[in-house]
Structure 1
Amino acid sequence: MDVITLSPLAVGLGLFGMLASLALLIGFAYRGWSVLLLAPFAAMLAAAISGEPVLAHWTQTFMNSAARFLAQFFPLFLLGALFGKLMEDSGSVKAIASFMTEKLGAHRAILAVVIGGALVTYGGVSLFVAFFVIAPMATALFQAANIPRRLMPAAIALGTSTFTMSALPGTPAIQNAIPMPFFGTTPFAAPGLGVIASIVMVGFGLWWLSLQQSRARAANEGFDGFGGTASVLAAKPAPNAKLVRERATVSQSFDPEEIEHGYISSDLPSFGVAMTPLVLVVCVNFVMNVIVLPRIDADYLADVRWGETSLAAVGGVWGVCVALAVAIVALIVLNRRRLPALRDTVDAGANASVLPVLSVGSLVGYGAVIAALPAFALVREWVLGVGGGPLVSLAVATNLLAALTGSASGGLTIALDALGSTYLQLAAQHGIDPSLLHRVAVISSGTLDSLPHNGAVVTLLAVCGSTHRESYRDIVIVGILGALLALVVVIVLGSIVGSF
């Protein structure tokens, strides 16, 4: 049904249904209710208020879209979570953190934390695994350097949750994989722009943190507050574990419930052994996407048997999967004696992927129902009518959805499910390389998602023993403002010189 044929009452009810369902989803998710129940309930509420067939939307729209997301991306969630858990239990992540602590020391505490977090997350370690290992490293360094504890979450976020998630070419983060089936791109889309965006994020973030460190020193503020010498503080009470878990599994790809499962080795590998699997992820990913897959004859994928797809639509996911699989095998071979409870570790890693992929899939199903409502045509027209061209409107749409859902991956998938084909058509009309669309969309997903209700923010503050009041402003500066600045740079450069 075209929206123009709808009566003003129908249009009004449709828009009200969308807003009411979204308010319900955000409000109850923030209070710790499971999105597995909230998303379908909110979607059915919107459909009912709009006068649409509720059960048909649940089984045919919601579930089909959620199932399609699982079919496309569950292998990445599974292998990514497994790889992260193996890296943790083998002691590899801790070995890298210890190496950075030793080499850079307390006089470069902030830089050491940023580089340590960047190394492990760009190499494919799940964000929450990195949090739980990098936080103790940061605590020791910040205490030794007498830097205020309140700056720790921002330093960790800069290294783990910004440029390595959305900008650096080839990053195996799920956000970097989501646009590939929509635009036929690879994880290395717009590599030059990605590197420039990374430099902007890192440079801006380090400048801000250094400025705050200098201001704190001038004000005689140390690790434990004003006027004192550094001392270890008792950790502040963590928020309700269920709240953290529910929010975390919507925003990232690792269930923090599994952090404590398995067996973490006390026998740390050398830095070289610890880094080898991370290097393999990046190198094999590059070889697969740039050298191997382009030379494969995959015309058979057009058959009904294989879903009538193409190599462009699935090749990017294949490349990341192979890279993670090779790295997992190498990790186990190199660290077999450090993994005495291998089955427990593998089970924990596999289990850690289930709730996140189902949670994000539910958000995607919700977005599909909203996009299928007749009144959504008004929203589509408004988004596409944003001034500045397709790149700006894509950035606006992705930012808004990531902010509303508190999920970079969920907001990005909803945006591309609803408008991805439209943006691809607009790109062809305006001579825009799909790789540029890819990079703009991914960077956009990693900006306003870091609002106070974001699961990664809640978890990071908990493991650092800090609060929103103490540390959130600095997270906003390095995690949101810095990313927005990089996004503007990419859009401007991409509009002038194209993708590179």
Structure 2
Amino acid sequence: MILGLFGILLSLALLITLAYRGMSIIIAAPLCALVAMLFSGAPVLVNYTDTFMPALADFVAQYFPLFLTGAIFGKLMTVSGYATDLATVITRWVGSKRAMLATVLTTALLTYGGISVFVVVFVMFPLARELFRQAGIPRRLIPGAIAHGMLTFTMTALPGSPQVQNIIPGQAFETNTFAAPGAGILGGTVIFILGMLWLERRKRSLSAAGEAFPDPTDAERRAVAAAARTQSAGPGAAVSSSQPPRTAAQPDADQAPALTPPNHLVPFIPILLVFVINFGCTVLLFPAMDWDYLGDYETSLGERSGVWAVLCAMLGAILSILLLNIRNLRRILSEVTQGAKDSLMPIFNTASEVGYGAVIASLAAFAIIRDGIFGISENALVTSAVSTSTIAGVTGSASGGMTIALNALGDDLKAMAADQGITMEAMHRITAMASGGLDSMPHNGAVITLLLVCGMTHRESYKDVGVVSLVIPVLVTAALIPLVLAVGAF
């Protein structure tokens, strides 16, 4: 048993290391599961085919439509120019000098509007880059501003968020995405305010130290990139050192989005539709319908309403973009295929982590970890938050960690909550918020992607990403638990 426990811990450490070094989780997760199985003496082949793969497939089967529609929606918002127009309108409202706030609000709108966090990164960076350049804000703060808008209050706290992190708890607790709206709004508001205070403080500090948009590190970065291009091009190759390195998602300076004021608020229509349709299906339409036939499918409205409502909302938003751009329908439709392709890597990364978690949970040594988690507190709300946050931190994934935790402990947590008089709505909201904290460790896939797209290193920008998306959400969630226990879900 001790050797098996060591194997689990070793596999976790290996998973973190491989993810941090950039290995795809699709490969790293089964390799790390293999390490745990070998130390536990568990049969390898049957665990892979009968434990790892079914868990992976089940996650894909449940959530692929959400990842697919979210990625397509994000692509259509980009090619239609609506994402740029949103940034322009918001910048006009808050003022060009508040580019930081404009970036956070635009990112938050896109995330709350249903675009997957993995897609929002690519949508937002060109916009944020231009906003920060015009305002002279240090470039190293771009990842922190985008992370604050997409990985915090809009992802897990605000009621009705169509992100998968707010849908997964509904599958376990038979709740919907609007569970505990008061607690979610309160927690989300505090997270937003504290995050903005930190980012503004950092902006003043860096500006006082002489940093502007062309960070002092840019010169060094250009020199390194130029040397690399020279080496790869071969002797005698002419390479200009005046151009900074770019990622695939990073346009040339002369290709930066032109933030000219739009003459309408049409871009807000698809975002608004996501909320309206999601709310309407959840609160009005679905409860009024007859779902007796669901018993034939061994499911219930409580288990599926969250997914179905968000799926209807995303389809409605996509249809609205197509109708609003009917004159350019052929060009718009040509991007749907690319949007579909963009959904594959994020969902299979997460599903592979879920498969890894299923293997770990099946090992005999996992009982020690399980008992240790339940020994932390006798309160269901605290236990759910701690287990979800811990596993999300280890795997570097909010959705993956929460799925693993709820698959392994969900039934016990429901029973504990029922015995203690804790509502499932409270369990939903706290569990969702707890997933969005420690998940933002340096090896988190979204964090790595964010820094890569922005052309920043962990050393340059992770401090701000970590504070706004890890430290603040963890502290706010911890402070919210006793309030919910005292007054109940609200």
Q: Does 1:282 align with 2:275?
A: yes
- Residue 239 of structure 2 corresponds to none
Q: Does 1:318 align with 2:308?
A: yes
- Residue 436 of structure 1 corresponds to 426
- The structure 2 residue matched to 1:449, chosen from 407, 431, 439, is 439
Equivalent position SS for 2:267:
helix
Letter aligned with residue 282 of structure 1: F
Listed one character per residue, the Cα deviations across residues 114-162 of structure 1 (whole Å, up to 9, x for unaligned) are 1111111111123244323332333333333332222222122112221
- The structure 1 residue matched to 2:266, chosen from 266, 273, 277, is 273
- The structure 2 residue matched to 1:189, chosen from 151, 176, 179, is 179
Q: Does 1:309 align with 2:299?
A: yes
Q: TM-score, normalised by structure 2?
A: 0.88
Measure, in 1, the Cα distance between the counterparts of 2:248 and 2:118: 10
Letter aligned with residue 288 of structure 2: R
Listed one character per residue, the Cα deviations across residues 210-240 of structure 1 (whole Å, up to 9, x for unaligned) are 22223334444433357xxx99x969869x9
Q: Report if aligned partners of 1:427, 1:434 keep a CA contact under 8 Å in 2.
A: yes
Equivalent position SS for 2:441:
coil
Q: Report if aligned partners of 1:91, 1:269 keep a CA contact under 8 Å in 2.
A: no
- Residue 94 of structure 1 corresponds to 84
Listed one character per residue, the Cα deviations across residues 175-194 of structure 1 (whole Å, up to 9, x for unaligned) are 11111111101011111100
- The structure 2 residue matched to 1:406, chosen from 373, 390, 396, is 396
Letter aligned with residue 176 of structure 1: N
Deviation at 1:25, TM superposition (A): 2.5
The size of the alignment, in residue pairs, is 465
Q: Does 1:356 align with 2:346?
A: yes
Listed one character per residue, the Cα deviations across residues 59-117 of structure 1 (whole Å, up to 9, x for unaligned) are 22112222221221111111111111111111111111122223323322221111111
- The structure 2 residue matched to 1:145, chosen from 135, 138, 143, is 135
Deviation at 1:359, TM superposition (A): 2.1
Q: Report if aligned partners of 2:88, 2:262 keep a CA contact under 8 Å in 1.
A: no
Letter aligned with residue 417 of structure 1: N
Measure, in 1, the Cα distance between the counterparts of 2:299 and 2:116: 29
Q: Does 1:427 align with 2:417?
A: yes
- The structure 2 residue matched to 1:294, chosen from 269, 280, 287, is 287
Matches within 5 A, 1:48-87: 48-87=38-77
Q: Report if aligned partners of 2:84, 2:257 keep a CA contact under 8 Å in 1.
A: no
Q: Report if aligned partners of 2:130, 2:257 keep a CA contact under 8 Å in 1.
A: no
Q: Report if aligned partners of 1:265, 1:339 keep a CA contact under 8 Å in 2.
A: no
- Residue 470 of structure 1 corresponds to 460
- The structure 2 residue matched to 1:379, chosen from 369, 374, 384, is 369
Q: TM-score, normalised by structure 1?
A: 0.86
Matches within 5 A, 1:123-202: 123-202=113-192
Deviation at 1:17, TM superposition (A): 2.1
Measure, in 1, the Cα distance between the counterparts of 2:437 and 2:92: 32
Letter aligned with residue 187 of structure 2: A
Q: Does 1:103 align with 2:93?
A: yes
Deviation at 1:33, TM superposition (A): 2.7
Letter aligned with residue 148 of structure 2: L
Measure, in 1, the Cα distance between the counterparts of 2:322 and 2:452: 31
Equivalent position SS for 1:40:
helix
Measure, in 2, the Cα distance between the counterparts of 1:129 and 1:34: 17
Measure, in 2, the Cα distance between the counterparts of 1:388 and 1:141: 49
RMSD: 2.8
Q: Would the alpha carbon gap of residues 61 and 132 (structure 1) be closer, same or farther in structure 2, given more than 3 Å must change?
A: closer
Deviation at 1:459, TM superposition (A): 2.4
Measure, in 1, the Cα distance between the counterparts of 2:403 and 2:276: 27
Letter aligned with residue 289 of structure 2: I
Q: Would the alpha carbon gap of residues 210 and 292 (structure 1) be closer, same or farther in structure 2, given more than 3 Å must change?
A: same
Letter aligned with residue 385 of structure 2: A
Measure, in 2, the Cα distance between the counterparts of 1:87 and 1:216: 33
Q: Does 1:112 align with 2:114?
A: no
Measure, in 2, the Cα distance between the counterparts of 1:235 and 1:78: 40
Q: Would the alpha carbon gap of residues 366 and 94 (structure 1) be closer, same or farther in structure 2, given more than 3 Å must change?
A: same
Deviation at 1:174, TM superposition (A): 1.1
Equivalent position SS for 2:161:
coil
Flag structure 1 segments of 5+ consecutive residues without an equivalent.
Answer: 1-10, 241-255
Q: Would the alpha carbon gap of residues 377 and 128 (structure 1) be closer, same or farther in structure 2, given more than 3 Å must change?
A: closer
Q: Would the alpha carbon gap of residues 448 and 425 (structure 1) be closer, same or farther in structure 2, given more than 3 Å must change?
A: same
- Residue 485 of structure 2 corresponds to 495
Q: Would the alpha carbon gap of residues 354 and 270 (structure 1) be closer, same or farther in structure 2, given more than 3 Å must change?
A: farther
- The structure 2 residue matched to 1:458, chosen from 448, 468, 472, is 448
Letter aligned with residue 34 of structure 1: S
Measure, in 1, the Cα distance between the counterparts of 2:452 and 2:276: 34
Measure, in 2, the Cα distance between the counterparts of 1:320 and 1:50: 41
Q: Report if aligned partners of 2:397, 2:439 keep a CA contact under 8 Å in 1.
A: yes
Measure, in 2, the Cα distance between the counterparts of 1:166 and 1:48: 36
Equivalent position SS for 2:401:
helix
Measure, in 2, the Cα distance between the counterparts of 1:349 and 1:235: 35
Deviation at 1:415, TM superposition (A): 0.8
Q: Report if aligned partners of 1:162, 1:479 keep a CA contact under 8 Å in 2.
A: yes
Measure, in 1, the Cα distance between the counterparts of 2:453 and 2:28: 27
Equivalent position SS for 2:376:
coil
Letter aligned with residue 288 of structure 1: C
Letter aligned with residue 382 of structure 1: G
Q: Would the alpha carbon gap of residues 41 and 415 (structure 1) be closer, same or farther in structure 2, given more than 3 Å must change?
A: same
Measure, in 2, the Cα distance between the counterparts of 1:314 and 1:302: 12
Q: Report if aligned partners of 2:440, 2:466 keep a CA contact under 8 Å in 1.
A: yes
Q: Percent of aligned positions with the same letter in both sequences?
A: 47
Measure, in 2, the Cα distance between the counterparts of 1:119 and 1:89: 17
Q: Report if aligned partners of 2:20, 2:442 keep a CA contact under 8 Å in 1.
A: no
